[in-house]
Structure 1
Amino acid sequence: MARPKHKLSSAELKAKAPGKYSDGGGLWFHKRPDGGAQWFLRYTLFGRRHEMGLGSFPAVSLKAARQAAEKWQAVVRVGKDAIKERGRQSREAQRNLNILADIAKDAFESRKAELKGDGKAGRWFSPLELHVLPKLGKMPVSQIDQRDIRDTLAPIWHTKADTARKAMNRLSICMRHAAALGLDVDLQATEKAKALLGKQRHKVTNIPAMPWKDVPAFYQSLDGGTTAELALRLLILTAVRSYPLRYLHLDQIDGDIWTIPAEAMKGRKGATSDFRVPLSKEAQSVIAEATPFARDGFLFPGVRKGVISDMTMSKLMERRGMVERPHGFRSSFRDWVAEATNTPHDIAETALGHVVGGAVERSYRRTDFLEQRKTLMDRWARQQLAKADQKIVQL
């Protein structure tokens, strides 16, 4: 005959004398001599008796204690130890309390080696730091869903579309990183958030670039010998990006070749080798002129420490009332190559440091077209030194 359940009533619990009282179904009420009381579940598994605490009375009511007892008895009925199972669930819940801010920092640290300059410039982390972590940083990553992400990025989704896209991308990486750590996260949360936010209303705007026919006059006007002017001249002559130029170290130069370390090159995903830049006679002359100002081996040092900032050259152009930006000279160079030379596409793209072709094609083609690019960069340098009234010769 089954033992009757629910022997106790809420009204009598406070008046109970010290002792242990069964409510049935394995649930017990223990009244201590000091007046305190607690619940515990008594169960037998594999021939051994166990007692599992279920909380103090009256913080845990009789009804709540009965519900807890039934929950854990169900676990025992399938052959599991209720105490061990509760511990496992508690550890899992604790693990899932990892907040997004900590996950984001860990994800950033694990990816530093993949980022330009080990991510020291902060550009990878800043979209998260500025637009995501202030609102979601303290939330357990396992509790973040698409609505949280939508509400966080909605204010900039259309007004700062590119920044919002980067923030969403970084957040997706953080969610995948959390999953790799064994946390219970929704890997589709960012995609769902995009669906809720809708298609971005923005137009891609290119960085203003100077027409290639106007570059020589500007180049020749950079005659003050300042660090910013010398840096701009070398930027124009080599058609490289600002970062590797600003961090140009004298030990990277060997004669008429400047070797940029692979980690300093952007836009070369899939390429692991350094990038060789041929230096024209004019480029070598600029380097020689700048060398006396070098500090700690860096050709273009900053005023106080480090190297010149990303804005140094831009500010020089702004002060002259120009809307064009230094990065635009890469476009100027590329337009000149297309319009005034018969340079093959692969050589032109390689001159800009772009990876050309798929992985299989690159595995068979090992050349970086250095000799052809030397000729091309010599022609580009002569273009900058041409007089204003000199006829442009098709090359």
Structure 2
Amino acid sequence: MVLRNKLSARGLPGLEAGKHCDGAGLWLVKGDRKSGKWVLRVTVNGKRREMGLGRWPDVTLAEAREHADVARYSVREGRDPIRERQKRRREAQRDLHLFRDVAQDAFEARKAELRGDGKAGRWFGPLELHVLPKLGHVPIVEITQIDLRDCLAPIWHAKAETAKKALARTSICMKHAAALGIDVDLQAPEKARALLGKQRHSTSNIPAMPWVEVPAFYQSLDEGTVAQLALRLLILTGVRSKPVRFMTESQIVGDIWTVPAENVKGREGATSDFRVPLSSEALSVVAQARRHARGGYLFPSVRKGVISDATMSRLMERRGLEARPHGFRSSLRVWLAEETNARHEVAETMLGHVVGSSVERAYRRTDFLEQRRLLLERWATHVTCNPQRVIRLAEA
């Protein structure tokens, strides 16, 4: 007969460091007089196993015996008590996965796919602002379409694009959770979309200035300020505002401006920087901008860093114009379509867009630099001509 209950709760504090048997495989392993751990030795499928039952004195002798009895019963039933406990812990962990933790984990997993590792916050922002404050503390397994509907209903029409992004990011988080083995409702985001209904908001394009009006506006930018020079360069090159604002001397070699890949939006799939040929007029603008350069940047802010994204917009707004700086990309694109015979892929490349499939791009290893150089020189000729006398350029 196996002897049990050899130890007494009162006598445990007086035991020296070492191993002390309570019987039937239950041991107290003491590191010193004040602390130790409970260990149960069992044989599972012919193999000797040691199962920890907790630290002493946090786990009392009576509790250790109860845990040991449960484990011994599992062994008699042919089950592995250690694996059973591990399974219970995994299930408990899955149940305790909060939405905010899964969302953060999903974001970390996708950083490599995002520009600048997502530091600008455009991917995580909709979740952080509109979903996590209400649902971040909720275990993700408990989130339903009703929760998502109630969360996004206040902005579904008022901030339509943001709401759609928030719901799309939530769907990604749900899929991420499922990949982790968490039992979530993958259909909850789509069911929430059905409950929210069709959005009243319709997306509108950024107002653009007709290309025939660009020369008059360009020539009105004649004060040589940082904002005006930046706006002139933006018009001449057709790039977005960020590459212009963060333009540095080191990016310019001869008449080629190399924009770092992290500053170029809309080129998913492209791994290289973007080369922009500078027309004679653009080089003149760069030369004028050098007078204002600070810290390597050609368009510095008054205080520190570079001019803000809104600086050029405010300039146009103060003049009572509806058009905005980003719209000059549209002005250039329409001019290319109406006034030149530029091929589609060349015109799109001028705007920094990736054209064609990955297979097409693998074989078409060119950025049409020389063709773009000629077209941008013609565009510069157009915007610098007499605003009262717009000349229709002959095809090259």
TM-score (norm 1): 0.77
What residue number does 2:165 align with? Answer: 166
Give the residue type in structure 2 aligned to 1:188. Answer: Q
SS of alignment partner, residue 362 of structure 1 = helix
What residue number does 1:99 align with? Answer: 98
What residue number does 1:122 align with? Answer: 121
Q: CA deviation at 1:81?
A: 4.1
Q: Deviations over 1:42-74 (max 9, x none)?
A: xx98799xxxx9xxxxxxxxxxxxxxxxx9999
Q: CA deviation at 1:158?
A: 2.0
Q: Is the 8 A contact 1:114 1:263 kept in 2?
A: no
Give the residue type in structure 1 aligned to 2:233. Answer: L
Q: Is the 8 A contact 2:145 2:191 kept in 1?
A: yes
Q: CA deviation at 1:190?
A: 1.7
Q: Is the 8 A contact 2:212 2:390 kept in 1?
A: no
Structure-2 change in CA distance of 1:284 and 1:97 (3 Å):
same
Q: CA deviation at 1:87?
A: 4.5
What residue number does 1:314 align with? Answer: 313
Q: Is the 8 A contact 1:158 1:200 kept in 2?
A: yes
Matched, 1:365 2:364: yes
Q: Is the 8 A contact 1:115 1:263 kept in 2?
A: no
Distance 1:243 1:114 in 2: 20
Distance 2:118 2:305 in 1: 16
Q: CA deviation at 1:245?
A: 1.7
Q: CA deviation at 1:387?
A: 0.3
Q: Map of 1:277-296 to 2, 5 A cutoff?
A: 277-296=276-295
- In structure 1, runs of 5+ residues without a counterpart are 1-43, 54-70
What residue number does 1:112 align with? Answer: 111
Q: Deviations over 1:13-51 (max 9, x none)?
A: xxxxxxxxxxxxxxxxxxxxxxxxxxxxxxx98799xxx
Q: Deviations over 1:301-339 (max 9, x none)?
A: 222222211111111111111121111000011111111
Distance 1:77 1:152 in 2: 50
Q: Is the 8 A contact 1:279 1:374 kept in 2?
A: yes
Q: Map of 1:16-35 to 2, 5 A cutoff?
A: none
Q: CA deviation at 1:279?
A: 0.5
What residue number does 2:148 align with? Answer: 149
Q: Is the 8 A contact 2:266 2:353 kept in 1?
A: yes
Give identity over the alignment, percent. 67
Give the residue type in structure 1 aligned to 2:322. Answer: V
Distance 1:327 1:197 in 2: 32
Structure-2 change in CA distance of 1:367 and 1:140 (3 Å):
same
What residue number does 1:386 align with? Answer: 385
What residue number does 1:340 align with? Answer: 339
- In structure 2, runs of 5+ residues without a counterpart are 1-42, 54-69
Q: CA deviation at 1:232?
A: 0.6
What residue number does 1:197 align with? Answer: 196
Q: CA deviation at 1:125?
A: 2.0
Structure-2 change in CA distance of 1:72 and 1:191 (3 Å):
farther
Q: Is the 8 A contact 2:213 2:387 kept in 1?
A: no
Give the residue type in structure 2 aligned to 1:226. Answer: T
Structure-2 change in CA distance of 1:362 and 1:320 (3 Å):
same
Q: Deviations over 1:131-157 (max 9, x none)?
A: 111101111223222221121111111
CA RMSD of aligned residues (A): 2.8
Distance 1:367 1:375 in 2: 16
Give the residue type in structure 2 aligned to 1:255. Answer: G
Q: Is the 8 A contact 2:382 2:390 kept in 1?
A: no
Q: CA deviation at 1:90?
A: 2.9
Distance 1:183 1:274 in 2: 40
| Residues matched between the structures, number | 335
Q: Is the 8 A contact 2:207 2:322 kept in 1?
A: yes
Q: Is the 8 A contact 2:127 2:166 kept in 1?
A: yes
What residue number does 2:298 align with? Answer: 299
Distance 1:317 1:113 in 2: 36
Structure-2 change in CA distance of 1:139 and 1:199 (3 Å):
same
Give the residue type in structure 2 aligned to 1:102. Answer: D
What residue number does 2:33 align with? Answer: none
Structure-2 change in CA distance of 1:113 and 1:82 (3 Å):
closer
Give the residue type in structure 2 aligned to 1:356. Answer: V
Q: Is the 8 A contact 2:249 2:298 kept in 1?
A: yes
TM-score (norm 2): 0.77
Q: Deviations over 1:350-381 (max 9, x none)?
A: 11111111122111111111100000000011
Distance 1:111 1:224 in 2: 45
Give the residue type in structure 2 aligned to 1:334. Answer: R
What residue number does 2:326 align with? Answer: 327
Q: CA deviation at 1:191?
A: 2.1
SS of alignment partner, residue 102 of structure 1 = helix
Q: Is the 8 A contact 1:249 1:299 kept in 2?
A: yes
Structure-2 change in CA distance of 1:168 and 1:78 (3 Å):
farther
Structure-2 change in CA distance of 1:181 and 1:253 (3 Å):
farther
